[in-house]
Amino acid sequence: MIHPSALIDPKAEIDASVEVGPFAVIGPDVQLGPNCVVHAFAQVTGRTRLGRANTIHSHCVIGGPPQDKKYQGEPTALEIGDSNTFRECCTVNTGTVQDAGVTRIGNNNWIMAYVHIAHDCQIGSLTIMANATQLAGHVEVGDWAILGGITGVHQFVKIGAHAMTGAGTTLLQDLPPYVMASGNPAGAHGMNTEGLRRRGFSDGQITLLRRAYKVLYKSGHTLAQAMEQLSDASSLGDPAAEDRAVLEPLLAFLGAATRGIVR
C-alpha cells in the first residue's frame, strides 16, 4: 500500500492500512491513523497527527511551519480528526507559541483545492471550504460553516456554526452563526435558511432565527441593544422552548465577539 518511491521517515507512526502514493513525503513526527490515504507528491510534515480515513491529495503540504515571523522553530503541532478530505495543493500550518501552539481540524471536513489554513486556526466539523479559501492565523470556524471560493478571512476572525459566505468574500469581522455574508468587505445577507432546512431545523426554529436576524440587522440597534432584546423571548413572539434553543449559540457568539460582527 506504500509506493516504493515514497519517502517515509522511519520514525513516523503509520498504521498498516495507510496508503501512500508515488513521491509522497512523510516526516519523522507524523502519526497517520487507519485508512488514511496520501496521494502522489503530497507532503505530511511537522508534529502532525491525523485520525482515521483522511485523504490528502497531490501537492498538499500538511503540517508545514507557520508563516509567522515570530516563529523560531518551536515544537508546535497540528491535530486533524477523522474523515477529512484535502484536495490538491492545500496548505495547513502548525500552531505558534503565541497561541495554544496547536492548529486543530475536526471531522468530516471537505477542503477543496488551494485552501490555506494558517497557524493556530481552530476548525470544527462538517465544514466546506471551496477552492482558494484563505484563512489567516488564529481563525475559528464553527461546525457546518460553508466558505465560498476565494473567501479571505482576517486573522483572529470567528465564523459561527452554519454560517455561509459567497464567492470572493472578505471577512474582516466575526460572522455570527446561521448568517450568510458576501462582498468586500463582507455584509450580511440574511439567514442560511436553506442550509438549516437541509440539516433538520424545524419551521419554528427557522422562523425564530429570521426574527432574530431582523433584531440584529434591521432594527437599528447597537449590538448591545440587540443582544438585550434577543435575550427576551417575549420580544420574539414567545416561541416554544425547543425553538428558543437555537438562539443560545447566537447569543453566546455575540457575547464573545472580539472584532465586532459583520453588519
Catalytic residues: 119-120, 137
Q: How far apart are CA 59 and CA 74, in angstroms?
A: 25
CA distances for 198 relative to 2, 113, 131, 161, 214, angstroms = 39, 25, 23, 14, 22
Q: How far apart are CA 143 and CA 124, in angstroms?
A: 5
Secondary structure of residue 28 in the 3-state scheme: coil
Q: How far apart are CA 221 and CA 87, in angstroms?
A: 42
Closest CA to 2 of 16, 17, 21, 15: 21
The DSSP symbol for 228 reads H
| C-alpha torsion sign, points 178, 182, 188, 189 | negative
Closest CA to 261 of 189, 166, 186: 186
* 40-65 burial code (b ≥16 CB/10 A, e <16): ebbbbbbbbbbbbbbbbbbbbbbbbb
Host H or E run for residue 257: none
Extract the C-alpha cell encoding 216: 440584529
- Decide if 225 contacts 139 (C-beta within 8 A): no
